[in-house]
Structure 1
């Protein structure tokens, strides 16, 4: 009986029929990104203009109002400007009440979200049924864009650069974790098209194991008075630290 209940829960989650989130109360990010919780969360729909959830069955699509609004606004903007491309592919945000979720050290207070990188071939990741049953220790993104220390030819420099600029322009971003090779490539690319944005580049933080996905972290909302803000990113583009002048 437990097995059948589990399967029913998974089917309901995959179909996007999750229980409604409490309405009326103000959302609260509590504690830190790595030791926190989430109150009165908003829930990201399974899909919307310009985006799709990759793992709806995990029931990890909750966040602060700021997080949900940022995903929806940026995705719709990119889709309008690049209608021929694939949708923004959204991985985990947070659990309904925050706290630890397997596969992540952070994502605990509704201010973190993972995205897949945009691809030159415009293909969206297909749903993998095998992710229904493990403990979700793997993030589940299906393409690595840094191979042998070099950027894959399937990495869409233009659209990923525009995505990062759009995110930073919201003024709600604390930092964005990407692979070192990806940041170095964007330093070079942005200068080559005369669009060298120090403000965007300084928010891109080189971090291991981020060659297959983007990790976006938002600032604590002003209304979340018990949220522990991470220190701001350093001044400057950071490109010189990667040997890019």
Structure 2
């Protein structure tokens, strides 16, 4: 065989292998994939890119759907507190952060008998306390707490600002600490946490279990709503102070911030004397940490997305969930597929395509009618599994075999070394 012919055959074989590898990386497996963090420390977005961007709950979007998912104007402000382009793959359950010794969450219900809890559910459900049931992208909220009014924040959507008691307490603590250091701080603008009873909250995939929060940056000047943060308008002292308080004063699971904003905050933190090794653990941008707390997600240049652990609410949910399902006190969790509407598509077409009902899509997206616009992102109930089928059919009773919930293990807070605190200079007052 001529040498050039052998070379061509080897080249064709290599191309075929690359094609096969590419397909296996983007094609969903038999079940929904569980996306893990990449070895270089990337977060949700990089995991999605590695496994095929646009995959949510194991269902890939068409190429034209992915194009429609990009905002027409990447600099567009969303002042209504909602985030139609939010790009969180909430199906990723984030591994505990590296750090000190983790703590197993414990609930006041732990030492009660099943009979005691059942009696509480019958006679005084409020006595059970606040429960965060299930995953943030397929969960519920029981006995939720509404974020109150306060001097340090203003509501954009108070009807969708329900969370666990811990979420509310943690958020207030971080804002209060920021204002203690900067007494003349303007208010932050608070968007969605969860609906009163949790569950699907359009346009989000997450925000279902009372542990996710959307909130503005500190800007100069501060304007109502969510506005894109840039080098010209980002109030670095206050914004870093708020993020630092979230990390050091609360049980935060992750913080989503656009990589461009991360770079500004990271440079500022180093300039004022924060410990470089600690900062490397905190930020994804320029980091060697495998599990940074602050991660990039598209659509988060105009607001911060915070996810808190709620140790008591999650542990109580694990203890009581089976009994609540037994007595029909909680609706089944439903997983969702994100779909970007294309021209000519109707709810009937989508219902047939995904094997669900028109009514279930309307409920999942709070639609009163049947008209839908192109490029709108819809949550489609996943028909697979008992929970998905119940949700698609609109059932309100719990499935016969509810999923087993386990108390979370809360990682130690990632605190800076003590000497870094003494080296931090006091920042100059920023304009209000």
Which has the greater radius of gyration?
2
Residue 133 of structure 2: which of 21, 30, 50 is its match? 30
Whole-angstrom distance in 2 between the partners of 1:105 and 1:114: 13
Q: Secondary structure at the match of 1:48?
A: coil
**Can you give the 5+ residue segments of structure 1 that lack an aligned partner in the other structure?**
1-21, 126-140, 146-150, 236-245
In structure 1, the residue matched to 2:349 is: none
Q: Gaps (5+ residues) in structure 2?
A: 1-124, 284-291, 319-404, 415-432
Aligned to 2:175: 75
Whether 2:294 is the aligned partner of 1:210: answer: no
**Structure 1 residues 27-56: Cα deviation after superposition (integer angstroms, max 9, x where no partner):** 1111101111111111111x2141221222
Structure 2 residue 152 is matched with structure 1 residue 50:
yes
Counterpart CA distance in 2 for 1:161 and 1:230 is 27
RMSD: 2.6
Distance, in Å, in 2 between the alignment partners of 1:60 and 1:176 is: 20
Counterpart among 37, 60, 71 of residue 160 in structure 2: 60
Cα deviations across residues 37-92 of structure 1 (Å, max 9, x unaligned)? Answer: 111111111x2141221222xx1111001101012222222223212221122111
Residues 1:143 and 2:227 aligned together? yes
Seen in structure 2, the aligned counterparts of structure 1 residues 93 and 69 have a Cα distance that, compared at 3 Å, is same
Q: Which of 183, 197, 204 is matched with 1:97 structurally?
A: 197
- Per the TM alignment, residue 231 of structure 1 is displaced from its structure 2 partner at its CA by 10
Structure 2 residue matching 1:70: 3-state secondary structure: helix
For residues 142 and 90 of structure 1, the distance between their equivalents in structure 2, rounded to whole angstroms, comes to 9
- Cross-structure match for 1:114: 214
Give the number of aligned pairs: 190
1:225-236 residue pairs with structure 2 within 5 A? 225=315, 226=318
Partner of residue 224, structure 1 = 314
**Is this contact kept in 1: 2:226–2:303, CA < 8 A?**
no
Q: State the secondary structure of the residue aligned to 2:133.
A: strand
- Judging by fraction of residues, say which structure has more strand: 1
Kept after mapping to 1: 8 A contact 2:144/2:164: yes
Partner of 1:157: 236
Question: Measured at CA, do residues 231 and 206 of structure 1 come closer, stay the same or move farther in structure 2, by a change above 3 Å?
Answer: farther
TM-score (norm 2): 0.41
Cα gap change, 1:230 to 1:37, in 2 (>3 Å): farther
Q: 1:160: Cα distance to partner?
A: 0.7
The aligned counterpart of 1:39 is 142
Contact 1:27/1:41, CA 8 A, preserved across alignment = yes
| Aligned partner of residue 224 in structure 1, secondary structure | helix
**Aligned 8 A contact 2:138 2:208 in 1:** yes
- Once residues 66 and 38 of structure 1 are traced to their aligned partners in structure 2, the CA distance between those partners, rounded to angstroms, is 13
Give 1 or 2: higher helix fraction.
2
Residue among 267, 270, 280 paired with 1:191: 270
Q: Return the alpha-carbon distance in structure 1 between the equivalents of residues 156 and 313 of structure 2.
A: 30
What's the TM-score once normalised by structure 1's chain length? 0.70
- Residue among 251, 258, 264 paired with 1:179: 258
Q: Deviations over 1:171-203 (max 9, x none)?
A: 410000000111122222211221144354331
Deviation for aligned residue 1:116: 0.4
SS in 1 for 2:128: coil
